[in-house]
Structures are given as C-alpha cells and as structure tokens.
Amino acid sequence: MFENLGQKFGDIFSKLKRKGALTEADIDAAMREVRIALLEADVALPVVKEFVNSLKEKAVGTEIVKSISPAQMVIKLVQDHLAELLGSDTNELNLAMTPPAVLLMVGLQGSGKTTSTGKLALHLKNKLHKKVLLASLDIYRPAAQMQLEILAKQVGAGSLAIVEGEKPAAITQRALKAAKLESYDVLLLDTAGRLHIDDALMAELKEVKALANPIETLLVADSLTGQDAVNIAQSFHEQIGVTGIILTRMDGDGRGGAALSMRHVTGQPIKFAGMGEKMDALEPFHPQRIASRILGMGDVVSLVERAAEMVSQDDAEAMAKRMQQGKFDMNDLLKQLKTMQKMGGMGSIMSMMPGMGKIKAQMENAKMDDNVLKRQEALILSMTPKERANPSIIAANRRKRIAAGAGMSVQDVNKLLKAHMEMENMMKKMKKMGAGGLMKGGLGGLIGGLGGMGGGLPKGFK
Ligand SMILES: Nc1nc2c(ncn2[C@@H]2O[C@H](COP(=O)(O)OP(=O)(O)O)[C@@H](O)[C@H]2O)c(=O)[nH]1
Ligand SMILES: [Mg+2]
C-alpha cells in the first residue's frame, strides 16, 4: 500500500532538493506533479483538488521561497497536509457509556466485518482489558455465525449461543440482555453484508441500530476497492450513520486512494487498519505516522512499539548488553530472525524504516521474502550448540553436515556465515563507538541491531 505514491513523492522531492533555491515556477511544477501522483493513486478528484489548492496557498509567496531549505519546507508542508487529510489525530474507540458499550459492525459482504470483529475483540481484551461478548446477526450465509463463534474462542471472548432460525432483531435483544446479565464491558454486533447496497439490508441495519443503540457504528471497508470503497462508505453513512471506519486489506498492494479519500468524503475518522488475516493484524490508524510512511520517512514509532510488544524487556536488555560488548553469535542472530518474523516479516519491518523503500523494492526484485528468514533459521537450527556459540569453528566438513541437515547447499551455509560475520563486525564497530547513541537503552539497541540487519542482509544473503 502507498508504495507507488511514496516513490512518486520521493522523485518529486529529490528534484526539488537538487535545485536549492526555488522559484514559484518550481513550486507550481511540483504541485502539478503532486496532483498527478495523487490521481494515479486513485484518490477522489475533489479530495485531490482541495489538497493541491490549500497546499499551493501555503506554499506560494514568502514561506517557501525565502526559507533556508526550500525543499525541506515543501516536504514538511506535504506531510502535514497528508496527515490532515488522513484525519489529524488518532481516533480511539468511544466506549464512554454505561456498560455494555455496544459496537455495531456494518459493511458489504466480504469487506472483512467478521474478521475485524474478532480482531477488535482481541484488541479490546488485550489492550483495554475489557470483557467482550460477540454476537453474529448474519443469518443469511451458512456458517457465518459459526465463523464468529470460532473467532471468539480463538481470541478468548464470549460468544452468544446460536439459536437456529432467530431473526437479527431478536438476536440483538437477546445479546443485549446477555451482555447486561453477564456484566460484559463491550458487546460487538457483527452484521450480514450484501454484495451491493440494497434497501432490505439498510432497513435491517436501521432496525438493529435502533434496538441496540450503539455508541460506535463502525463501517468496515476494503481498501483494495479504491473509489468504490469511498462511495459505499458515503451511502452507508448517509443511510445508517457511522462513527468510524475500519479499513481492511491495508496489507495488500492497493494504491491507497481509499485511505486518502475516506476521511474527507465521509467526514468520519478511520479508526483502525486491517493488516492481514490473523487476529493480531489490526492497527490503530495514526495519520501522522502513515503520512511519514508514505513520504518514505519511515515509521520508527510504530516499529519501536511493535518491537516492544514482541520482545520482553529482559530479552531486549540482555541482547543490548551482548551487543554493547561486541558479541553477536548465531544464537543472537537466531533471536533476531525470530523477532523479525514475529513482527510481521521483513516486508512489514522494512516499510516502517526510514529510507528503506528503495531497498525493499530491490529485495522484492531479488525474490527476498520471508522464506529467506525461515531458511536462515533452519540452517542455524541445524548447527550444534557449540557451533552456534562460536561459528568460527565451522570448518568445511561441518558446513556440509549443516547444509544436509537443513536440506540446503554448502553455498547457503557460506552465505549465512558471511552475513553473520559482517553483522558481528558491525557490532564490534558499534562497541568501539561507545555505548551512546544507538546503543542507549535495551530497545534502542535491539532496533539498532535490526536496522543493521536490514542493511546487512542484501549483501550477505543474495
Ligand atoms: N489480507 C487481509 N485479508 C483480510 C483482512 N480482513 C479480512 N480479510 C479476509 O477477507 C475475507 C473476508 O472476510 P470476512 O471477515 O469473512 O468478511 P465479511 O463478509 O465482511 O464478514 C477473509 O478471508 C478474511 O481473512 C485484512 O485486513 N487483510
Ligand atoms: Mg461476515
């Protein structure tokens, strides 16, 4: 998502940077290119128009032309505008009502409602420590209710017993009663979708909404459907009234137009982004961070947060300590590989690192995917503990055995050893530079290591 757009912006900015001083004509030309880039990303036309106009207004005249670093000023302006377009601030769920707080999930069939219901339940339970009940009103698709029940079990939420033949309105009432009786904090109502918006669907949703009186009506929309998603959101909002949007499939390679237009067209905030099929693949939507991700400035804040969730403080500190001493054996490498996989694989990490856009594209071209991580892991696991602690003892005959053990070639082992050596050297260099800067604090150290690995991988692993 956003890769093409990010690249276009990158090109526009590097052109500006080369110029040094900027004339109004330069800025005009850049604005034209911004406009084209946004249109190509499938952003709705009125949104593009307003974006470019207000950008121009700010850019024209003294502000940029006289600034010390004009290109930097333009970039900052574009970033702020993008963030504003995406909705200025993070929008938390509103749960401010006497429990149970009812959240109603609406959207077309296949948009990801049921999946998002499960994800939200997990989020509410783990992050906000809420007791959550799930109920499915989807009586039309066979096994839809079952699907939600399975997800509820998986994430450790309650689910309303399924009563065959019961209508959505009756299920809603029963769910409300159960949630109150069993003192749940939050009740999530998953509804049926249709392939297209139709009157019967809207009538049913209106009825359910009136009964349930939800504090949040969340529209689930598929970001890959671009402008369609925006139109659909608009009609849902007009007819039902929504309070927030969950954009799913943001892990896919859509052009990003839906994400960029949604807020402006519906006036409703994007609250979460679905980043995959798994239950933990849901992220609060941070406009500022996404804007800097689009502009290739990385999303270090999210990266650090994700690492903090995946790695225990003790582990991080132990790892940082070893790195500070310039130590980095195969066990350390193995730990980092595992962490990277847990954090959502190489692609997702790289897309959050500043300036990594280009390297990521190169890696994709070289067919470097997450299998690479798994293959490295298999090789390390095929070493003996002694070899892992001291890779320099791995002579030719041992390399053969390790390769055979992992079902790979000696060349693969050689590549791994070379990459490890480069990383170890880097750790030693960092030790010489002292414990300041990068190595300060446990997590900082770990991220430093990961960053180094990202940089070291393409060389050693190709
Ligand atoms: N890649 C990806 N797939 C998703 C995401 N959200 C949902 N899906 C998948 O989309 C399909 C339809 O989802 P479902 O929740 O059943 O849609 P519903 O008809 O709206 O309830 C399922 O295969 C989900 O696994 C997401 O954020 N990313
Ligand atoms: Mg469903």
What confidence tens digit (pLDDT) does each residue in 130-143 have? Answer: 999 999 999 988 79
What is the sign of the dihedral through the CA atoms of 142, 145, 149 and 152? positive
Q: What is the pTM of this model?
A: 0.69
Is the CB–ligand 1 distance for residue 249 below 6 Å?
yes
Provide the pLDDT confidence category of residue 299 given band limits of 50, 70 and 90.
Answer: low
- Ligand nearest to the CA of residue 143, numbered in listed order: 2
Residue nearest to atom 23 of ligand 1 (CA): 277
> What separation in Å is there between the alpha carbon of 177 and the centre of ligand 2?
23
- Model pLDDT, residue 249: 92
Provide the pLDDT confidence category of residue 17 given band limits of 50, 70 and 90.
Answer: confident
- Range of lowest pLDDT (60-69, 135-144, 254-263, 439-448): 439-448
What is the sign of the dihedral through the CA atoms of 189, 192, 197 and 203? negative
Provide the pLDDT confidence category of residue 352 given band limits of 50, 70 and 90.
Answer: low
Res. 110: pLDDT tops 80:
yes
- Higher-pLDDT residue of 417 and 10 is 417
For residue 113, the ligand 1 atom closest to its alpha carbon is: 20
**Domains, in order of start, for the chain:** 3-86 (1.20.120.140), 101-294 (3.40.50.300), 300-461 (1.10.260.30)
Is the CB–ligand 1 distance for residue 113 below 6 Å?
yes
* 52-73 residue pLDDT tens: 888 888 776 555 555 556 777 7
Provide the pLDDT confidence category of residue 351 given band limits of 50, 70 and 90.
Answer: low
* 161-192 residue pLDDT tens: 999 999 999 999 999 999 999 999 999 999 99
Task: Provide the 10 A C-beta neighbour count for residue 126.
Answer: 13
SS3 184: coil
- Model pLDDT, residue 421: 86
For residue 275, the ligand 1 atom closest to its alpha carbon is: 27
- Ligand nearest to the CA of residue 250, numbered in listed order: 1
Q: Decide if 173 contacts 227 (C-beta within 8 A).
A: no
- Model pLDDT, residue 443: 34
Is the CB–ligand 1 distance for residue 110 below 6 Å?
yes
Tokens of 114: 């049921």
Is the CB–ligand 1 distance for residue 112 below 6 Å?
yes
Is the CB–ligand 1 distance for residue 239 below 6 Å?
no
Per-residue CA distances from 156 to 129, 159, 202, 230, 319 (Å): 12, 9, 31, 33, 32
> What separation in Å is there between the alpha carbon of 101 and the centre of ligand 1?
24
- Model pLDDT, residue 31: 87
